[in-house]
Chains A and B, each alone.
Chain A
Amino acid sequence: MEKLAYALIFIGAILWVFSIIFMGARWQPQMLAAAILTVGIILAHVWEELFREKK
Chain B
Amino acid sequence: MARERVSQAEEWQAWAQRYDVEGGLRTFESGLTLKVFLGAVFIGLLMMPGSIYLTLVAGQSGAGAAPWVAVILFTELARRSFTTARRQELYILLGLTGAAVGSGIHYRAYPFVWYAYFINTPQAESYEIADKIPYWVAPAKDAVAIAERSLLHMDWFWPLAIFLVMKLLAEVRYISASYFLFRLTADLERLPYPLAPIQAQGATALAETTGQGETWRWRVFSIGSMAGLFWGFFYIGIPSLTGVMMSTPIEILKIPFIDFTPSIESFAPSGMFALWTDFGLILQGFVLPFPIIMSEFASAMFTQFVLNPRILYPLEILHQWRPGLDMRGVKLFNDLDFWLSFNMGKSFSFAAVGLAASIPIMLSMKQSQQQQAGTRGSLQTPPGRGDFPIWLMGGLWVLSMIVYVWIVHRMVPNFPVSFLLGFAFLYTPLHSYINARTFGVLGRPLFVLPYIHQATFILSRYEEIDIWFVHLPDEDYGAGTQHWRVLELTGTTFTSDVLGRALMVPLLIVATIVVWHFIWKIAPIPSSQYPFAQTWWPLYATDEALWKTSLRDGNSQMLQAIRGDYVSAGFTSSLAIYGILWAAKLPSMWFYGIVGGIGQDPGMMIPRVIGALIGRFYMIKQFGLKRWFMYNPVLAAGFTCGVGLVGMGTVAIALVSKAVIVKPF
- Most-contacted residue by chain A among B359, B364, B565, B576 (CB, 10 A): B576
Whether the Cβ atoms of A27 and B578 lie closer than 8 Å is no
Whether the Cβ atoms of A31 and B568 lie closer than 8 Å is yes
Whether the Cβ atoms of A45 and B357 lie closer than 8 Å is yes
CA distance A10 to B5 in the complex (A): 18
Q: Is B169 interfacial (CB 8 A cutoff)?
A: no
Q: Which of B5, B359, B377, B580 contacts A9 (CB 8 A)?
A: B580
CA distance A35 to B214 in the complex (A): 58
Whether the Cβ atoms of A49 and B571 lie closer than 8 Å is no
- For chain B, residues 566 to 585, give those with C-beta under 8 angstroms from any C-beta of chain A: 567-569, 571-573, 575-576, 578-580, 582-583
- For chain A, residues 4 to 55, give those with C-beta under 8 angstroms from any C-beta of chain B: 5-6, 9-10, 12-13, 16, 20, 25-27, 30-31, 33-34, 37-38, 40-42, 44-46, 48-50, 52-53
Which residue of chain B is the closest to A30 with respect to CB atoms? B568
In the bound complex, residues from chain A placing their C-beta under 8 Å from that of B7 are 48-49, 52-53
Whether the Cβ atoms of B583 and A46 lie closer than 8 Å is no
Q: Is B352 interfacial (CB 8 A cutoff)?
A: yes
Chain B count of residues within 8 A CB distance of the other chain: 29
Whether the Cβ atoms of A49 and B573 lie closer than 8 Å is no
Task: Give per-residue flags for B345-369: 1 if the beta carbon is below 8 A from chain A beta carbons, else 0.
Answer: 0000000110011011101100000
Q: Is B17 interfacial (CB 8 A cutoff)?
A: no
Whether the Cβ atoms of B572 and A37 lie closer than 8 Å is yes
Q: Is B564 interfacial (CB 8 A cutoff)?
A: yes
Question: Given that A45-B359, A48-B360, A49-B9 are known contacts, is A27 also in contact with B567, CB under 8 Å in the complex?
Answer: yes
Chain A count of residues within 8 A CB distance of the other chain: 28
Which residue of chain A is the closest to B567 with respect to CB atoms? A27
Whether the Cβ atoms of B575 and A49 lie closer than 8 Å is no
Q: Which of B356, B359, B377, B580 contacts A13 (CB 8 A)?
A: B580
Q: Is B13 interfacial (CB 8 A cutoff)?
A: no
In the bound complex, residues from chain A placing their C-beta under 8 Å from that of B578 are 37, 41
Whether the Cβ atoms of A49 and B568 lie closer than 8 Å is no
Q: Is B8 interfacial (CB 8 A cutoff)?
A: yes
Whether the Cβ atoms of B576 and A12 lie closer than 8 Å is yes
- Most-contacted residue by chain B among A12, A25, A33, A41 (CB, 10 A): A41
Whether the Cβ atoms of B565 and A38 lie closer than 8 Å is no
In the bound complex, residues from chain B placing their C-beta under 8 Å from that of A27 are 564-565, 567-568
- Could you tell me the distance in whole angstroms from the C-beta of B577 to the nearest C-beta in chain A? 9
CA distance A50 to B126 in the complex (A): 64
Whether the Cβ atoms of A46 and B582 lie closer than 8 Å is no
In the bound complex, residues from chain A placing their C-beta under 8 Å from that of B573 are 16
Whether the Cβ atoms of A44 and B576 lie closer than 8 Å is no
- Could you tell me the distance in whole angstroms from the C-beta of A44 to the nearest C-beta in chain B? 5
In the bound complex, residues from chain A placing their C-beta under 8 Å from that of B364 are 49-50
Whether the Cβ atoms of B8 and A13 lie closer than 8 Å is no
In the bound complex, residues from chain B placing their C-beta under 8 Å from that of A38 are 352, 356, 575
- Could you tell me the distance in whole angstroms from the C-beta of B314 to the nearest C-beta in chain A? 15
Question: Given that A20-B569, A30-B572, A42-B356 are known contacts, is A12 also in contact with B579, CB under 8 Å in the complex?
Answer: yes
Whether the Cβ atoms of B582 and A44 lie closer than 8 Å is yes
CA distance A53 to B368 in the complex (A): 12
Which residue of chain A is the closest to B348 with respect to CB atoms? A34
- Could you tell me the distance in whole angstroms from the C-beta of A24 to the nearest C-beta in chain B? 8
Q: Which of B564, B569, B582 contacts A41 (CB 8 A)?
A: B582
Whether the Cβ atoms of A37 and B575 lie closer than 8 Å is yes
CA distance A16 to B635 in the complex (A): 45
CA distance A45 to B8 in the complex (A): 8
Which residue of chain A is the closest to B577 with respect to CB atoms? A13
Whether the Cβ atoms of A49 and B565 lie closer than 8 Å is no
In the bound complex, residues from chain B placing their C-beta under 8 Å from that of A12 are 572, 575-576, 579
In the bound complex, residues from chain B placing their C-beta under 8 Å from that of A34 are 352, 568, 571-572, 575
Q: Which of A5, A10, A33 contacts B572 (CB 8 A)?
A: A33
Q: Which of A6, A30, A40, A44 contacts B565 (CB 8 A)?
A: A30
CA distance A36 to B512 in the complex (A): 53
Which residue of chain B is the closest to A28 with respect to CB atoms? B568
CA distance A41 to B582 in the complex (A): 8
- Most-contacted residue by chain A among B359, B565, B580 (CB, 10 A): B565
CA distance A38 to B565 in the complex (A): 18
CA distance A42 to B362 in the complex (A): 12
Whether the Cβ atoms of A6 and B8 lie closer than 8 Å is no
CA distance A18 to B226 in the complex (A): 56
Which residue of chain B is the closest to A44 with respect to CB atoms? B582
Question: Given that A48-B9, A50-B364 are known contacts, is A9 also in contact with B579, CB under 8 Å in the complex?
Answer: yes
Whether the Cβ atoms of B565 and A25 lie closer than 8 Å is yes
Which residue of chain B is the closest to A10 with respect to CB atoms? B583
- Most-contacted residue by chain B among A12, A16, A33, A34 (CB, 10 A): A34
Which residue of chain A is the closest to B357 with respect to CB atoms? A45
In the bound complex, residues from chain B placing their C-beta under 8 Å from that of A13 are 576, 579-580
Task: Give per-residue flags for B1-36: 1 if the beta carbon is below 8 A from chain A beta carbons, else 0.
Answer: 000010111000000000000000000000000000
Question: Given that A9-B580, A41-B582 are known contacts, is A49 also in contact with B360, CB under 8 Å in the complex?
Answer: yes
Whether the Cβ atoms of A41 and B353 lie closer than 8 Å is yes
- Could you tell me the distance in whole angstroms from the C-beta of B187 to the nearest C-beta in chain A? 16
CA distance A30 to B7 in the complex (A): 28
Question: Given that A25-B565, A30-B568, A31-B568 are known contacts, is A45 also in contact with B575, CB under 8 Å in the complex?
Answer: no
In the bound complex, residues from chain A placing their C-beta under 8 Å from that of B361 are 49
Which residue of chain B is the closest to A38 with respect to CB atoms? B352
- Could you tell me the distance in whole angstroms from the C-beta of B71 to the nearest C-beta in chain A? 42
Whether the Cβ atoms of B583 and A9 lie closer than 8 Å is yes
CA distance A27 to B360 in the complex (A): 29
- Most-contacted residue by chain A among B571, B575, B578 (CB, 10 A): B575
A-B contact pairs, 16 of them (CB 8 A): A5-B582, A13-B580, A16-B573, A27-B564, A31-B568, A33-B572, A34-B352, A37-B575, A37-B578, A40-B579, A41-B356, A41-B578, A42-B360, A45-B8, A46-B359, A49-B377
Report the 3 A-B pairs with minimum CB-CB distance, sorted nearest first.
Answer: A9-B579, A49-B360, A30-B568
Residues of B near any A CB (own CB < 8 A): 5, 7-9, 352-353, 356-357, 359-361, 363-364, 377, 564-565, 567-569, 571-573, 575-576, 578-580, 582-583
Q: A38-B352, A38-B356 are in contact. List 14 more A-B contacts (CB 8 A).
A: A9-B582, A10-B579, A12-B575, A12-B579, A16-B576, A34-B571, A34-B572, A40-B579, A41-B582, A42-B359, A48-B9, A49-B7, A49-B9, A49-B363
Residues of A near any B CB (own CB < 8 A): 5-6, 9-10, 12-13, 16, 20, 25-27, 30-31, 33-34, 37-38, 40-42, 44-46, 48-50, 52-53
